Structure 1
Amino acid sequence: MSSQNKLTAKEIAFQLGISQATVSLAMNDKPGVNSETKRRILEYIAKQENKVQLFGGTILHIMYVNREKYTIQEENTLFNYGYVEFLRMVQQERMELQLQNVYSIEEMLEALKASTDKALGVVFCAADTPLEAMPLLDECDVPLVVYSSDLMGDRWDAVCFHNEKAVKDGMALLEKNGHKDIVYLLNDFHSYNFRARRRAYQQYIFENAIDGRKPQFVPTGMNVDKAAQAIAEYLRGRNKLPDAIFSENYMTSIALSIAAQQLRIKIPQDMSIIGIDAIPEAIHMPYNMDHYSVPHAERMRIVGEMLFTKLKNNNLNIHAREVRISMKYQKGDTIAKRNIK
């Protein structure tokens, strides 16, 4: 701790609720202080002196980027929701935030090794990171928090959305309302959140198989126009509309709305819909879609809290923690109740 930040007897006395004279005696190893009080004072001083002085330091945000995905503007928008919240937290600590994109495993390793000299702490977005590259996170020698992954390490904290719960709860809700033939719309991205949602849908079908049902995945595309075309072709080619559609994210939900209007499908009279992620306010839809709201900003707030806890305690050996953030169900008007036979 620098001299300008050195603890004073007055500050310690105020924090511990004891007299300044008692603190002075303990700090100077003088008699007149009982052993328990002296222990409290010295432990408090040691703890405060071990804290990292964050002012003026740098936090490095490393993002493993799928080049093709990064060109999709609507995907960048979701990243910005959380990034703005995290930037606010860093600035509140009077620190600097640097964003570094890496496009290969080699670049990822180089960035992690260099972080020791560049930053006090690292936040790593693992959404597109190849699974075989995840062990490289151990190369980071400063406090590290990873998000968009549920893979745990011995030295890093992990924060992710509870995708499995949202999908299985949504499927159960559809089934409760009499829907058996449930189709899943997936986009062409393979990020962690989407992989987790697809696994959950598949698991739910297998665990709750009725009449020999099998998972029905419908690939769409990387943007709204292509996805709308793919969905319309799929629905047009069926002999009978599915009871319901589970939409993977807001892009597939917007595309589904376009396709349904083109085919004059009435929602929810002809087909029910539930999805994950809210539709941006700028997008007009003819219905209020039932969905699970994804708390992008809340995730980054938790990431920030976990990182600053590590930094302020100056301890890389704190047990690794995992936080799964639930998505809140937002009731709309796109689920009809079917006759349950």
Structure 2
Amino acid sequence: MKVSIRRISQITGFSPATVSNALNRKKGVNAATSEKIFKAAETLGYQQEKTITKIKFVTYRKNGLIIDDSQIFPAMIEGVERQAKELGYETTFSHLNYEDESFELRLKDFLEDTNCLSILLGTEMMEEDYVPFYDYKGYLIVLDGWSDEMIFDGVLINNTDAVCQAMEYLVGKGHTKIGYLRGDYRIKAFRYREFGYHRVIGKYRLKVEPEFQITLGTKLESAYQDMKRYLERTGNLPTAFFADNDVIAIGAMRAMKEKGIRIPEDISIVGFDDIGFGSVSTPGLTTIRVFKQEMGEVAVRRALDHIKYSGKNVKMKIQVCTEFVERDSVRQIDR
């Protein structure tokens, strides 16, 4: 008969949590208590399962079009490290660069290592990029991404609801001609944000102007150059834009200012992410704040549930709510 932690708890008089912490060599259990628990476990013939002491943070870089210019991922990593440390786990890091010639080898090395809990940064990943991970024998949770096959747990932003809130704000400010600055690399987060944009457009039966659905590069320079080319072709603009993220918004704002377009007097703009540049831009960018560190912390806690509640195989898609940040890039239109 298999000896359980509960049985050791009954024999020693210590709580199951204390027994588990001692057997897993966690902090907070004194030496004398640990010695009694290990002695009882040995006497009872307890067979300890493989102990996991590390959390691996894996950055998946498909092309760098999103994560190279973004400021939000260092904060996510900080959240992972901080929460892991508080719970007594070490954090290690792995980098998978799809464009690197050593990608296949590094991917193979990762898939063969099942001695840790893995958090995979899925921001740039498309559905096909998850396929090699389907047969991974360890535990994997996706941060800022999601597989439609529901193979993994995921922690992501409530993208659609957040954009609905931003669009409702623009409508409340009197805007009925709202354009969309869409990133040219259609990561899943952008597609979910586009759903929110169209949901509010449909709710108020606003007209969708194809010329105001402008596709821009996802880096500061490419967004600026693409917006500059658009403005050279036409002088038509809506009264407001929603941008897929702050990087795109700030690049577009630069091009507009060079053309003498005033923000927010001539055009209003709302971004997404609340990166540092947005708070110091002129004007300050109205945006959607993402709780980056908290997302990392949630991913760690969910990963550790895999140990605490082993045998529970239900997959979870955890959406972390955002906060709307009003600055100076949107004006009220009198009706």
Q: Counterpart of 1:85? A: 79
Q: Counterpart of 1:324? A: 319
2:196 is paired with a residue of what secondary structure?
A: helix
Q: Counterpart of 1:34? A: none
2:332 to 306, 324, 337: 337
Q: Counterpart of 1:97? A: 92
Shift of 1:179: 1.1
Shift of 1:277: 1.7
Aligned residues: 299
What TM-score do the two structures reach when normalised by structure 1?
Answer: 0.74
Contact kept, 8 Å, 2:72 with 2:275, in 1: the verdict is no
User: What pairs with 1:22-41 in structure 2 (closer than 5 Å)?
Assistant: none
2:65 is paired with a residue of what secondary structure?
A: helix
Shift of 1:203: 4.4
2:15 to 8, 12, 16: 12
Bigger drift between 102-111 and 81-90 goes to 102-111
Q: Counterpart of 1:248? A: 244
Shift of 1:163: 0.8
AA aligned opposite 2:333: R
Q: 2: distance between equivalents of 1:13 and 1:138?
A: 34
AA aligned opposite 1:338: I
Q: Counterpart of 2:32? A: none
Shift of 1:126: 2.2
Unaligned 5+ segments in structure 2 are: 19-43
User: What pairs with 1:280-319 in structure 2 (closer than 5 Å)?
Assistant: 280=276, 284-313=280-309, 315-319=310-314
**1:132-157 per-position Cα deviation (integer Å, ceiling 9, x unaligned):** 34354331222221122233656531
What TM-score do the two structures reach when normalised by structure 2?
Answer: 0.76
Identical pairs, percent: 18
2:288 is paired with a residue of what secondary structure?
A: strand
Q: Counterpart of 1:113? A: 111
AA aligned opposite 1:179: H
1:164 to 160, 164, 170: 160
Shift of 1:219: 2.1
1:156–1:262 CA distance, 2 compared to 1 (3 A): same
Contact kept, 8 Å, 2:122 with 2:146, in 1: the verdict is no
**1:242-281 per-position Cα deviation (integer Å, ceiling 9, x unaligned):** 1101122121122133223212222222111111121415
Q: 2: distance between equivalents of 1:50 and 1:13?
A: 14
Q: Counterpart of 1:66? A: 62
1:267 to 243, 259, 263: 263
Shift of 1:109: 6.3
2:306 is paired with a residue of what secondary structure?
A: helix
1:284–1:189 CA distance, 2 compared to 1 (3 A): same
Q: Counterpart of 2:205? A: 209
Contact kept, 8 Å, 2:179 with 2:240, in 1: the verdict is yes
Q: 2: distance between equivalents of 1:228 and 1:102?
A: 26
1:133–1:14 CA distance, 2 compared to 1 (3 A): closer
1:218 is paired with a residue of what secondary structure?
A: strand
**1:9-65 per-position Cα deviation (integer Å, ceiling 9, x unaligned):** 3533998xxxxxxxxxxxxxxxxxxxxxxxxxxxxxx9x9988754xx332223332
Q: Counterpart of 2:231? A: 235
Q: 2: distance between equivalents of 1:271 and 1:157?
A: 40
Looking at CA atoms only, which structure, 1 or 2, has the larger radius of gyration? 1
RMSD: 3.4
AA aligned opposite 1:317: K
**1:120-179 per-position Cα deviation (integer Å, ceiling 9, x unaligned):** 211122222231343543312222211222336565311110111111221222122221
2:177 to 178, 181, 189: 181
1:97 is paired with a residue of what secondary structure?
A: strand
Q: 1: distance between equivalents of 2:207 and 2:191?
A: 26
Shift of 1:323: 0.7
1:282–1:199 CA distance, 2 compared to 1 (3 A): closer
Q: Counterpart of 1:38? A: none
Shift of 1:230: 2.4
**1:305-330 per-position Cα deviation (integer Å, ceiling 9, x unaligned):** 101121233x1433211111121001
| 1:134 aligned onto 2:130 | yes
Q: 1: distance between equivalents of 2:260 and 2:150?
A: 54
1:111–1:53 CA distance, 2 compared to 1 (3 A): closer
1:11 is paired with a residue of what secondary structure?
A: coil
